[in-house]
Amino acid sequence: MAIEIRPREDQPVVTTRPTTEPASARVPTRAPEQAAAARTTKIEARDLNLYYGSFRAVRDVTMDIPANEITAIIGPSGCGKSTFLRSLNRLHELAHGARMEGRLLIDGVDIYERSVDAVDLRRLVGMVFQRPNPFPTMSIYGNVASGLRLGGGPKPADLDEIVERCLTRAALWDEVKDHLGAPGTSLSGGQQQRLCIARALAVDPEVILMDEPASSLDPIATLRIEELMLELRGSYTIVIVTHNMQQASRVSDQTAFFSMGEDRAGYLVEMGQTTTIFTNPREQLTEDYISGRFG
Amino acid sequence: MTTLAPTGRLRGRTTPRRADVVFRSGTRVFGGAVIATLGVVAAVLVVSSVPAWTRFGVDLITQTTWDPVRDVYGALPFIVGTLYASAIALLLATPIGILTAIFLSEFAPRRVAIPLSFTIELLAAIPSVVIGLWGVFVLSPFLRDTVDAWLVATLGWLPFFRGPSYGVGLGAAGVILAIMILPTIVSISREVLSSVPNSQREAMFGLGATRWEVAIKAVLPYARSGVIGAVILGLGRALGETMAVTMVIGNGQDIPVSVFDQAQTIASKIAVTFNEASGGLQTQSLVAIGLILLVMTLLLNVAARLLVSRVQQGPAQ
């Protein structure tokens, strides 16, 4: 019972990881008394500060992200929401001069602890980026399989099945099943983004980070991505950064509003149920932002 | 506020602007001059070598005897020597060059990468004859006593490594060429690898890839046509390089088999022989093999372009 990364019964996409060790062995286990308290909270940020060199991009963020729901992060440009998102899978630390202070826990485990390997973490916390970025030299099939071909472990025997399942899950299978060998970049922008989602699903993550996943897409493609997010809700903890407040209100359960302080550092203004944030926010700043008075 | 007077302002000009005319004709002249130069060089090579071609025909390419005394000229040993030396150079320089470029663009911190890149590019600035001298006095004896001796002892049963090694020879020429084309391969590959968009790296990192996997599975495939281009440019330089090769390749007249054989490339043969050629058939035959080298280089470039465009189109799997 002390194992914090449980196999979820409600998750249809069950894939074989290329790593031979069980999932639970990748992150140290947590004290049992903490487990009960944090059952429905997937990610906890505690006094999180993120820096690029001497510049503080995110200041003192403390927030709880619930499991298997969609949490939207909104806020004006430059308020650190993308930086915050990228700290959740430790992509932030790859930037030149990047560092962090505070604690970030997933299932109660501090992901910046020395015993946690960023490579393993990123298999648990998948990411979809602002612009669709399929690998241009790989086929559609190869793109979905790319994550499973990492690590040098044995290739899963049911690779074909996994690819089909992930493409189906990403609502792309019917459109591409007859030309799986075509380059990933031959698809339209919206299809490429769904391909990237399928690629992220293939490594069997528990959390999916989406950094403005629809900002480069047309309205119809955007709608399909939103539908897809709602379908994945319940099986995955989804954190989405968006500029688009309508999108946040349409898809998310929880909304966090970030703003930029006078020191140009982003901070969390408030977080709550999406309906509350959009109808009856606590803070005047939130009210001003969602009613379009700034940002 | 004034009203627009269309007739006066829009129809006043009857001649094109002078600067435009000067600029346009200037670019045409210089652009044409470049192509004309290549044409003239090729034409001169063809015209001056006609007597050799009419006398020997294909024998010039397929025969192995180059004998000024009997006035018989066949250049096969030099053609083979050219390809052989270039192949050795490419075999050595390609993996080293690509791995160095990956290190510089993906792994080295900036304070290491910048001085190191600069140093590697300096390698290209060393005069060919200086590298040749170093090859004769340092590299050849070193190879003879260490690498060559070991190769002969362990792989000597293969015809390619049949000894003994005298130091100078094809192998030394190949190593010298590898050193000379390394800056080309490294600097162009590094440039191409650095220009791979970061979103590709992040996509691979996001799937749980190590830095090494990101470099090999995302960055290198994305940049592969440029990297192939870099290798081909290096090969082009290896084929035509003359001075340093002439100094270390020895002076063999037979078709080389072992890497320790002394040989000649087309370029070194021309360089060594041209002064003593007395005009007539020998000079014409030397011009003819110069033409062969030019054609080889052109064909290689065409093939490289085809390869690059084919690679750019389709996915690998």
Distance CA A275, CA A269 (A): 16
- Where along chain B do its domains lie? 14-57, 60-313
Q: How far is CA B233 from the centre of its chain?
A: 5
Indicate the fold that domain B60-313 takes in CATH. MetI-like fold (1.10.3720)
- CA dihedral over A191, A196, A201, A202, signed as positive or negative: positive
Chain B neighbors of A91, CB-CB under 8 A? 202, 205-206
CA A284/CA A295 separation, integer angstroms: 14
Going from the C-alpha of A61 to that of each of A102, A246, B93, the distances in angstroms are 9, 24, 51
Classify burial at B130, counting beta carbons within 10 Å of its beta carbon; exposed 0-12, middle 13-18, buried 19 or more.
exposed
Q: Do B314 and A183 touch (CB under 8 A)?
A: yes
Q: Are A265 and A57 in contact (CB under 8 A)?
A: yes
Q: Which of B207, B210, B219 to mutate to test the interface with A (most CBs of A within 10 A)?
A: B207
- Please, what sign has the CA dihedral across residues A171, A172, A174, A177? negative
Q: Which residues contact B18 (CB under 8 A, 6 or more apart)?
A: none
Q: Please list, in sequence order, all residues whose beta carbon lies within 8 angstroms of the beta carbon of residue B100, skipping any fewer than 6 positions away.
A: B120, B182, B186, B190
Place of tokens 């539908």: A227
Nearest CA in chain A to B200: A133
Q: What is the pLDDT of residues B3-52, one digit of tens each?
A: 555 566 777 777 888 889 999 999 999 999 999 999 999 999 999 999 99
What band does A156 get if pLDDT is binned at 50, 70 and 90? confident
Rounded to whole angstroms, what are the CA distances from A115 to A18, A121, B18, B92, B145?
A: 20, 11, 72, 40, 50
Taking contacts as CB-CB distances below 8 angstroms, the residues of chain A near B202 are: 91, 94, 127, 129, 133
| Rounded Cα–Cα distance for residues A63 and B62 (Å) | 79
- Reply yes or no on whether the pLDDT at A131 is more than 70: yes
C-beta neighbour count of B264 within 10 angstroms: 30
Please list the alpha-helical segments (H only) found in B241-279. 243-248, 266-273
Q: Does B103 touch chain A (CB under 8 A)?
A: no
Question: What residues in B contact A85, CB-CB < 8 Å?
Answer: none
B112 touches A: beta carbon within 8 Å:
no
Tell me how far apart the alpha carbons of residues A30 and A41 are, in angstroms, rounded to a whole number.
14
The string of pLDDT tens digits covering residues B98-144 is 999 999 999 998 899 999 999 998 998 999 999 999 999 999 999 99
Share of chain A above pLDDT 90, in %: 71
ipTM of the complex: 0.83
Contact between chains at B224 and A137 (C-beta distance less than 8 A): yes
Mean predicted lDDT score pLDDT of chain B: 90
Residue showing tokens 């480069």: A216
Q: What is the pTM of this model?
A: 0.82
Task: For each of the domains in chain A, give its residue range(s) and CATH number, in order of start.
Answer: 41-290 (3.40.50.300)
Residues 6+ apart with CB under 8 A from B49: B284, B285, B287, B288, B290, B291
